[in-house]
Amino acid sequence: ILLHDNARPHVSQFTIRKIHELGYETLKHPPYSPDLSPTDCHFFKHSDNFLREKIFHNTFVEFINSRTPDFYCNGIGTLVKR
């Protein structure tokens, strides 16, 4: 499964054919909007303050590891409710 935004290069007929030739299935994605984007909805709003003024790579890994399984389940559950 391939998740990408709906930018023109991503949805051109050439790109769509190539994606299907390679055996990928595309996952429909809402237009860019903080209240619609799945990642912006839950994940990134929590990571913004956590990442502020830190070295990104190490801090990002630290953030991922600091979240409980419930955090990710709640985020997925929020998408279902929307």
pLDDT digits (tens, 9 = 90+) for 64-77: 899 999 998 888 88
Would you put residue 63 in left (φ > 0), alpha (ψ -120 to 50) or beta? alpha
In this predicted model, what pLDDT tens digit does every residue of 3-19 receive, in sequence order?
Answer: 676 677 777 888 888 88
Q: Whole-prediction pTM value?
A: 0.34
Question: Are residues 19 and 45 both part of a single domain?
Answer: no
Question: Are residues 62 and 41 both part of a single domain?
Answer: yes
**Amino acid code (one letter) for 25:** E
The neighbouring-strand residues paired with 2 are: 26
Residues spanned by the domain of 56: 34-81
Question: Are residues 27 and 58 both part of a single domain?
Answer: no
Quote the number of domains for the chain: 2
